[in-house]
Copies of this chain bind each other. A is one copy, B any other.
Amino acid sequence: MSDRLRPPSAESVAEAAAGLLIRVRETSPVTHCITNSVVTWYTANVLLAVGAAPAMVDIVGEAEPFAAAASGLLLNLGTPSPEQRAASREAAEGANAAGTPWVLDPVAVGALPVRTALAAELLGRRPTVVRGNASEVLALAGRGGGGRGVDTTHTAEAAFGTAAELALRTGGAVAVSGPVDVITDGATTIRIANGDPFLTRVTGGGCALGAVMAAFLGAASKHGAVSDPLLAAAAATIVYTVAAEDAAARASGPGSFAVGLLDALFALDPEAVVARARVSVSLTAPTAGERA
């Protein structure tokens, strides 16, 4: 939870998105990813397209120093081999010690025991941002049985109260993806209505967004600008989902959409981001969980 006295306006959120996009392109933040084997290639290309410098360092003995030196870190639990589990713990430690902001993406937690235990442990280390779909966010908080793998069986709004509670516990932000993305730090909530259904028809559509969040957090925190997890996560979401609309407009199907999203992120005009962002901001009413 930040110390804002009042929530930012929708306009200022859209402007922060454009501003951080420019900053990412100018500073090329080193974005350390420990992510699942399905999406490494696409995630790295998304980061390059948006202007960041990806580095997939996922082995024991290297993850800690690299996380400490990186601008931002993503821990995605999609295919958590024993080596990646140990490297993720190392990386979270290195990031916390050095003040590197980090994103936890608890892919498919709930039904699957190994990653569920790891996600709970990493949650205790207070990730700067948690990113998932509603099923994953509910499962991370110990509610609901999880979705069907990476699939979700809930809308983002269904996890809103739980997301706010988790954010208050971590002191960071929680982002729930869906047709309308919901991002909250427990005090303020930002909703973003951009995007395209094709994002759910390519693998890693959500996973790559987590990496973009890490890049935006890195650009924000390492260069004297806003170090506000809520704003950085919202900015990344806006940039990514506006670009997705461009890609969908030109796509013939999910294959050309995936390729076109890389082109669209590369070409994205910051002014178009401001003009086209569909953002709403609200104060988050306290819930039972928050008062507890």
Contact = CB atoms under 8 A, between A and B. Distances in A.
B267 A263 contact: no
A49 B253 contact: yes
A252 B262 CA distance: 10
Closest 4 CB pairs of A and B: A253-B263, A255-B262, A55-B149, A44-B203
Given A30-B148, A201-B48, A203-B44, A62 B254 contact: no
Nearest to A51: B201
Contacts of A255: 45, 49, 258-263, 266
Interface in A54-75: 54-62, 65-66, 69
A79 interface: yes
A146 to B, nearest CB: 11
A37 to B, nearest CB: 5
Contacts of A259: 255-256, 258-259
Contact of A258 (B38, B45, B114, B115): B45
Interface stretch (A80-88, A126-134, A227-235): A80-88
Interface residues of A, number: 62
Interface in A242-279: 251-256, 258-267
22 contacts: A28-B151, A30-B151, A37-B37, A38-B44, A40-B41, A41-B41, A45-B258, A49-B253, A53-B151, A56-B78, A57-B79, A57-B108, A59-B82, A65-B112, A69-B111, A82-B83, A253-B265, A254-B263, A254-B266, A255-B266, A256-B259, A256-B260
Contacts of A224: none
Given A254-B266, A255-B262, 20 more contacts: A37-B37, A37-B56, A37-B58, A41-B204, A53-B148, A53-B149, A54-B203, A55-B149, A56-B79, A57-B108, A59-B79, A59-B82, A61-B113, A61-B114, A62-B112, A62-B114, A62-B115, A81-B83, A252-B263, A255-B266
Nearest to A62: B112
B83 A49 contact: no
Interface in A108-143: 108, 111-115
A267 B203 CA distance: 17
A267 B49 CA distance: 26
A36 interface: yes
Contacts of A108: 55, 57
A128 to B, nearest CB: 21
A203 B83 contact: no
A10 to B, nearest CB: 29
Contact of A36 (B56, B62, B263): B56
Interface string A157-199: 0000000000000000000000000000000000000000000
A114 B59 contact: yes
